[in-house]
């Protein structure tokens, strides 16, 4: 049996068709519309990918167990959008809607960088920060399906205002937009190019940025005690696979660091397809 998965991002919707083993068969991409037009686009993408038996969807924000988008700061107009119920009504097939980073975490745990582990955390560092948590061999969703909003851990009580309305959220200090702010407006690629060339200012920026990443990872480790933390997203790609600096700062930030095993940091292997693949695998898992 084949399965369709769609990852709804802030700028694009990425759909894939996979088989039961997670092997990619085909894919499509479209610009992300206003929330009022989202369900129509998702249905059209599903049918373009073959209208197979199941449909999984990953969406940023607070997604209920029933598949309703209650809030999504980076998705224009998204408030109580009944994606799951409406697509089930229209298609008559199994539809599962999940947080996008949770979907990506599931994919990396099942067929990616965290395969074979029982306790893992995935952190996606892009424009914002998302995450997913696997504990005891099961994906952790929380009582209402909202678990994994790790980017909104408050790390600076009176800090920078976040689009969510709070101040001092982790993603204001350790995301791609945070790196741009720290560097005075440079792109991540430019900052890291100068860093590798030995530019002192760039090295200072990257060191501070890595420390902010480690602060959040330390909190996640103290809470979840994962075997592995998978780092993904465009920001991590700028590190070119070398996360040793983050690992060092994480080790320094942990509670009772010398008395405990430290989680292994690794880089995601599924790239931009992780969210869509995870959404497709999740709906297959729930059948």
67-121 pLDDT, tens digit each? 999 988 777 788 899 999 999 999 999 999 999 889 999 999 999 999 999 999 9
| Same-domain check for residues 243 and 148 | yes
238-249 pLDDT, tens digit each? 888 889 999 999
Residue 186 pLDDT > 90: yes
Mean pLDDT of 138-146: 89
| Same-domain check for residues 263 and 279 | no
Supply angle C-alpha 94, 96, 101, rounded to 5: 155
| Same-domain check for residues 31 and 81 | yes
Higher pLDDT, 240 or 257: 257
| Same-domain check for residues 74 and 132 | no
pTM score, two decimals? 0.88
Phi, psi of 52 (to 5 degrees): -70, -170
Residue 26 belongs to a domain with what CATH number? 3.30.420.40
| Same-domain check for residues 98 and 121 | no
109 lies in some domain: no
Residue 20 pLDDT > 90: no
| Same-domain check for residues 123 and 264 | yes
Instruction: Find, among 157, 193, 162, 194, the residue nearest to 175 by Cα.
Output: 162
Residue 137 pLDDT > 90: yes
| Same-domain check for residues 240 and 121 | yes
Long-range contacts of 234-241 (CB under 8 A, 24+ apart): 234/125, 234/126, 234/176, 234/188, 235/125, 235/126, 235/175, 235/176, 235/179, 235/188, 236/125, 236/267, 236/268, 238/188, 238/189, 238/191, 238/192, 239/192, 239/267, 240/192, 241/267
Supply angle C-alpha 103, 104, 105, rounded to 5: 90
Overall number of domains in the chain: 2
108 lies in some domain: no
* pLDDT at position 44: 97
């Amino acid at each position: 049996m084949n399965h369709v998965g769609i990852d709804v991002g802030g700028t694009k919707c990425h759909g894939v068709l996979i088989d039961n083993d997670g092997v990619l068969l085909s894919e499509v991409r479209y610009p992300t519309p206003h929330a009022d037009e989202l369900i129509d686009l998702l249905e059209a993408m599903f049918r373009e990918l073959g209208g197979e038996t199941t449909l999984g969807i990953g969406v940023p924000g607070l997604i209920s167990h029933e598949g309703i988008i209650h809030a999504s700061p980076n998705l224009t107009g998204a408030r109580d959008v009944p994606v799951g119920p409406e697509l089930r009504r229209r298609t008559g097939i199994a539809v599962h809607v999940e947080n996008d980073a949770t979907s990506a975490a599931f994919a990396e745990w099942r067929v990616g960088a965290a395969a074979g582990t029982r306790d893992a955390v995935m952190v996606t560092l892009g424009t914002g920060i998302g995450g997913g948590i696997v504990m005891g061999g099961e994906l952790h969703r929380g009582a209402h399906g909202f678990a994994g909003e790790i980017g909104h851990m408050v790390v600076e009580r009176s800090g920078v205002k976040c689009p969510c309305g709070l101040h001092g959220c982790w993603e204001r200090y350790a995301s791609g937009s945070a790196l741009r702010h720290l560097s005075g407006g440079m792109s991540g690629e430019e900052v890291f190019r100068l860093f590798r060339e030995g530019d002192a200012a760039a090295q200072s920026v990257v060191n501070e940025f890595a420390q902010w990443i480690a602060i959040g990872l330390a909190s996640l480790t103290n809470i979840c005690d994962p075997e592995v933390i998978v780092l993904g997203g465009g920001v991590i790609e700028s590190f070119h696979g070398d996360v040793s600096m983050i690992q060092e700062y994480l080790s320094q930030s942990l509670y009772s660091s010398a008395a405990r095993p430290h989680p292994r940091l690794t880089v995601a292997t599924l790239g931009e397809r992780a969210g869509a693949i995870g959404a497709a695998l999740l709906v297959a898992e729930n059948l």
